[in-house]
Structure 1
């Protein structure tokens, strides 16, 4: 089983949106038995909470399930438990690398989500908690999740 973890700040907007969209895409491609996904936050402010209402509204509009999702914080054990740790912005990546320590320095399993979309020329997935633009985040997440599936197919499923 290949395991993917999406990470943002509070685990109520971007990373749960990515988790839900990625799960949907995995279902559509028949990969749910091959790839597992989760999400987490670097902060502890929203532990146990369901995704933000803006994330839920947008996922509902697109028919994407977020059932059973609750915010959790990144754990040290996540480094060993996941094959891909995808951080939604530069600060999340810095915090994750700090938590995991020197063992992840330069390791390709930890990377920024926008590295999947270099043609977009933006370094980070904007946080709709602050911008209010959940649609922009959904568009980036949908496109990036599809690219991540392609990457996993190339790296792990051949």
Structure 2
């Protein structure tokens, strides 16, 4: 049984593809890529089919994450069925997901920053209209939260292996 995790922001060109790239690499390095599947989507289709924002790609690349091959997409109804955890970057996207999701999937919806331990922020701010420093801060938050999320994924993988 796999653990499937979907990261969600508004347009799927900044925060959620950065989170997908960071977490995918962490999963690979932990040897969990056979049991943890990762994806990302947006609550809106503004940028469907586009690569991540150049600033997001550059920031991620500086820290060793390649997100250039990812393409933006809007969340689909089937995602609420297919994914075990759907992690929003902020309150607005979480609220939209709660409106879109069937009641049976509401337990899957959470904020990504719930898994952070080094940063106090409840949400990951949208860096799109800001400067480069905003993208650096976003990546700091994402790395922190993804470290905590990896621990959850490891526990799930251990529980499944033991079952």
* TM over 0.5, shorter chain: yes
- Confirm or deny that 1:52 pairs with 2:53: yes
Shift of the alpha carbon at 1:124? 1.1
* Deviation digits for residues 41-97 of structure 1 (CA, Å, limit 9, x no counterpart): 001100000000111101111121214210000111101100110100011111011
Q: Is the 8 A contact 1:24 1:65 kept in 2?
A: no
The residue number in structure 2 matching 1:127 is 126
The residue number in structure 2 matching 1:61 is 62
In 1, Cα distance between the equivalents of 2:110 and 2:6? 11
- Confirm or deny that 1:111 pairs with 2:113: no
Q: Is the 8 A contact 2:117 2:148 kept in 1?
A: no
Shift of the alpha carbon at 1:112? 0.4
Shift of the alpha carbon at 1:118? 6.0
Shift of the alpha carbon at 1:33? 1.0
* Deviation digits for residues 80-130 of structure 1 (CA, Å, limit 9, x no counterpart): 10011010001111101111132234x1x2100111126633221011103
The residue number in structure 1 matching 2:36 is 35
1:131-150 mapped onto 2 (5 Å cutoff) = 131-132=130-131, 133-150=134-151
In 2, Cα distance between the equivalents of 1:152 and 1:129? 29
Count of matched residue positions in the alignment of Structure 1 and Structure 2: 156
In 1, Cα distance between the equivalents of 2:56 and 2:6? 18
In 1, Cα distance between the equivalents of 2:139 and 2:120? 17
Shift of the alpha carbon at 1:30? 1.1
Alignment TM-score, normalising by the size of structure 1: 0.92
For residue 31 of structure 2, give the secondary structure of its aligned residue in structure 1. Answer: coil
In 1, Cα distance between the equivalents of 2:99 and 2:117? 24
The residue number in structure 1 matching 2:85 is 84
Change over 3 Å in CA distance of 1:73–1:141 after alignment to 2: same
In 1, Cα distance between the equivalents of 2:25 and 2:66? 8
